[in-house]
């Protein structure tokens, strides 16, 4: 005689359907982390301090890029020294 042979579990017919429904509807762990990350990113981006800091950072980057472009234009417009035409 097998252990627990006397215990016969009767599963009602609608339980597998309910279990399947929850299995399909529950997100995976990875999906849950992605959703939490997206929500946190949204909350941070809606913060006024973050928006003000972001504007300052973008302004600084634009100024730096403009200075690089001006320096590059100055280098291109300079006559080349040390090279002789053959």
pTM above 0.95, yes or no: no
Confidence band of 86 (pLDDT split at 50, 70, 90): very low
Take residue 49 and report the two structure tokens written for it.
């301090």
Assess whether pLDDT exceeds 60 at residue 19: yes
Assess whether pLDDT exceeds 70 at residue 66: yes
Kindly state the average pLDDT of the residues 3-18: 74
Q: Is residue 69 part of a domain?
A: yes
Mean pLDDT of the chain: 84
The range of the structural domain enclosing residue 72 comes to 47-77
Q: Could you give the number of structural domains in the chain?
A: 1
Q: Is residue 3 part of a domain?
A: no
**Three-state secondary structure call for residue 10:** coil
Q: Is residue 42 part of a domain?
A: no
45 contact partners, CB below 8 Å, separation of at least 6: 51
Q: Express each pLDDT in 29-61 by its tens digit.
A: 999 999 999 999 999 889 999 889 989 999 999
């Amino acid at each position: 005689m097998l252990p627990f042979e006397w215990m016969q579990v009767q599963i009602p017919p609608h339980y597998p359907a309910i279990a399947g429904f929850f299995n399909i509807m529950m997100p995976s762990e990875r999906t849950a982390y992605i959703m939490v990350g997206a929500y946190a990113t949204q909350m941070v981006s809606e913060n006024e301090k973050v928006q003000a800091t972001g504007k300052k950072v973008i302004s600084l980057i634009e100024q730096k890029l403009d200075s690089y472009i001006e320096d590059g234009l100055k280098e291109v417009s300079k006559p080349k020294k040390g090279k002789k035409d053959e």
